[in-house]
Chain A
Amino acid sequence: MATRKSLMGSEPLPVPAGRPALVLLCSLALSSLAVPSLGLAQTDPGIRPGAINGQTGATTTSPLPVASASATTNTPQGVSEFFLNGLGRFQEVESVSGGANNGLGPRFNFNSCSGCHAQPTIGGSGLPSNPQATVLNSVGGNPPIASSSTNTIPSFITANGPTREARFPFFFNSSQTGVNTSAPNGGVEDLFTVSGRADAGKCSLAQPAFAFAQSVNDVIFRIPTPVFGAGLLENLDDSTLLANQATQANNGLGISGTFNHNGNDGTIARFGWKAQNKSLELFAGEAYNVEMGITNEIFQNERPLPGEDTPSPGNTPVGLPSNCLNLSGTGYPEDATNFAPTNPTAAGSDTFALNAQIPSDVVQFAMFMRLLAPPVPSTTVPGGAAAISEGQSLFSAIGCSVCHTPTLGKTQVSAVTAGLSGVTVNPFSDLEIHQMGNGLADNVSQGGAGGGQFRTAPLWGLGQRAFFLHDGRTSNLLTAITDHASSGSEATAVIENFEDLSTSQQQDILDFLRSL
């Protein structure tokens, strides 16, 4: 059992990385001497230090193990080269035109994948400090990512807040004085435009009316989903997911989830906050188009905002203006298959490195995510081995594991690499969508998921996340837990069980979750 305590506080500060012992001593000293009358409370230990793969001192993203890849048609070297190629493309900074990588915009949320998928390293969720808050700044002599003459930073984007995309659940009314709740929207409203950039020609676009949307409570947010271990989730057969669902029936906790399905082939979809995307390639293609404005072989056309291609009385939609099309000058799609290696000199005589240059960015983004190793939990940090072990037992005992399933099953045989074959997957998710109540609902429907339904977020890697829940509303793990309860939520009974635990038991669960 954990013995560590700290002062009671509704918003405890995360423990600085690498200094838990000092905080422990301070907390005990204060609690016993300075304010003895105050009670003790459980506290989020804060972001766990160390690399995502548990390697002390390591700072880079790690691929799946490939040592035993001889059972497949792909050699370890080939798998490694494709992974590294994808990793490199994941970090590429995009320009509108005339740069090394082009096609950004005309609207975007950021200019690289890794800028948003960055915490604790490449492939993760958003950083504690949000790079979107600095897009108007000139850094290192480079021009700003967005022009301050045509862009402002929305008030919900702050230096130490979550990296976000924004959506308007409903269209505004025709007089632009409020919302029309009979007109669901839900599409992404990109934060910035390329207008005013030197490489964007005469494209002139305004940002969406974020301030007005906020004033009428018509904006919701999503933060980046981490993609560690995503290839393992992709390679779980539907039967594995259904078998797990069957074990949950009549669980005595008020929980009964369902699956979101791909609208084309009907199989279980599993990526995104509402499990709306079927595959990593689709996930990557959509994000490239929606978040960065880069057309690709899956999404071939520039994307207008939801209101720009929707007819309404007195408004004939025209889509994007012509001077905002083909800004890269390369034609469409802006990301496409390379029929020859793009940089044979760099690859030298390495056939695998040459081959890895041929697929499109989207294919290689997906391959990077597919081959990206899952997080490795700590067995001792934070709180020590006993607290983590006890916390894991309590996590299951009170019912969290009904949805946050620790072990979902084994992957199907993979033709890509043995590192994806027959692997036991420990995502702490059932990949189902559940009703999460009016406290978390965002009034956005995606596929079969309604406005109150969300995929059970995988918890592997949670210990090193900076922000929680779909919109990043909190950096406090305890708040994230208790926010699971509200009217209409399947999680209420479990949260009540959590609240009925002792303070030290709750602390053990927090320690366990931060060990993931």
Chain B
Amino acid sequence: MRAASSTFLLLIGMLVSSTAGAQGPLPQQGPVLQRVPENVILVKGAWSSASDTVTPLPEGGKVSTASYDNPYFGLTVPLPAGWIQKYEGPPPSDSGYYVLAQLRPADPSHEKARGTLLVAAQDMFFTTTHAAGPLELINYTRDHLQADYRIERPPSNVTIAGRDFVRFGYVSPVAGLHWMFFATQIRCHVVEFIFTSADTPLLENLTRNLGGLKSQPERPATEPVCIKGYVSAENILERVDPVLTENKYNQVPVRVIIDREGKVKHIHFLSAFPSQSQAIAAALSQWRFKPYLRNGQPVEVETGMLFGHVPQGAL
């Protein structure tokens, strides 16, 4: 048992440090490069990382010529012909917001119909909106729209490719731009497909194109059960608080997968400084939870935790 924990801790330390970039105290020796590479962010600050490189992450989707594929969410979204991702999105925010993909026509000349598709996700463990699901989150957006936007389609439930979505549309009359949201809930996230265009026929085509979405309306039995608030006194058997030696006044949202024995199997830091992720990983390796039972059988649980600069009672 002790040996296993030590190995786990060592692995976490190695992996976290290898994914988190250059920070921290000056080393006596280090890798040497002749030049600073162009267009690379090496000093990352608070960034995302994980305890292993195998478990899919929300931000781990890929854009190919034909589709956007996201193993974590179990999604495959067909792309309109000629659409590309020119720029990748930013890292997850400390409020659990993801830009998963940003797509647009490869040729955005004025002669072509122009538009964009933003695939985003909000981790509902960490949203600041108090929304519990897609409808409430979309309603929040509706309630905070700029005054000069006009709602074209009030939030409503629709079914696309066998999956439940909330659809919401509005227009900026002055810009002639239309926005169309399709929001659905997966693994305690709200995943949003947001189409923007001045060309309403294009928007209709894009909406129809979303019908080619491949997803898993029924989550696989092997997938962890996502439960908000699972990290509570009644479920924690052993707990060691991390010692964060430097207060950056940032909150550190963390998703964990707890295995059938109640041990932390996987850690995903949405936004953490390297020293924070290392300290938290070291502590979580020592936590023990009551195994979660479904139909009398222990199953894996996915839940969220906040560390760092967080409101009282956040854990």
Contacts and interface: CB of A to CB of B under 8 A. Distances in A.
A binds B: yes
B146 interface: yes
Contacts, number: 217
Contacts of B91: 435, 488
Contact of A438 (B39, B47, B140, B181): B39
A488 B45 contact: no
Nearest to B100: A254
B36 A254 contact: no
A250 B23 contact: no
A398 B91 CA distance: 22
Contact of B43 (A177, A186, A218, A501): A186
A167 to B, nearest CB: 11
Interface residues of B, number: 72
10 contacts: A170-B42, A250-B141, A266-B249, A448-B248, A451-B43, A451-B45, A487-B87, A490-B90, A492-B86, A501-B175
Interface in A480-514: 485-490, 492-493, 496-497, 499-502, 505
A406 B163 CA distance: 39
Name B's interface SS.
loop
Interface of B: 22-23, 26-47, 86-91, 93-95, 97, 99, 102, 104, 108, 110, 114-116, 118, 120, 122, 127-129, 137-138, 140-141, 144, 146, 148-149, 172, 174-175, 177, 179, 181, 192, 194, 196-198, 247-250, 309
A114 interface: no
Contacts of A493: 102, 116, 118, 196
A217 B89 contact: no
A254 B90 contact: yes
A313 interface: yes
A217 B99 contact: no
A160 interface: no
A179 B35 contact: yes
B97 A256 contact: yes
Select the residue from B90, B108, B138, B248 with max chain A CB neighbours within 10 A.
B90
The 5 closest A-B CB pairs, nearest first, are: A450-B45, A182-B30, A261-B249, A451-B43, A256-B93
Given A186-B43, A263-B247, A313-B28, 10 more contacts: A179-B35, A181-B22, A181-B31, A216-B34, A251-B144, A254-B102, A256-B93, A312-B26, A398-B175, A490-B99
Interface residues of A, number: 72
Interface in A18-68: none
Interface of A: 169-171, 173, 177-184, 186, 216-218, 246-254, 256-258, 261-263, 266, 310, 312-313, 390, 393-394, 396-398, 401, 435, 437-439, 441, 443-445, 447-453, 485-490, 492-493, 496-497, 499-502, 505
Contacts of A253: 118
Contacts of A437: 87, 90
A492 B32 CA distance: 33
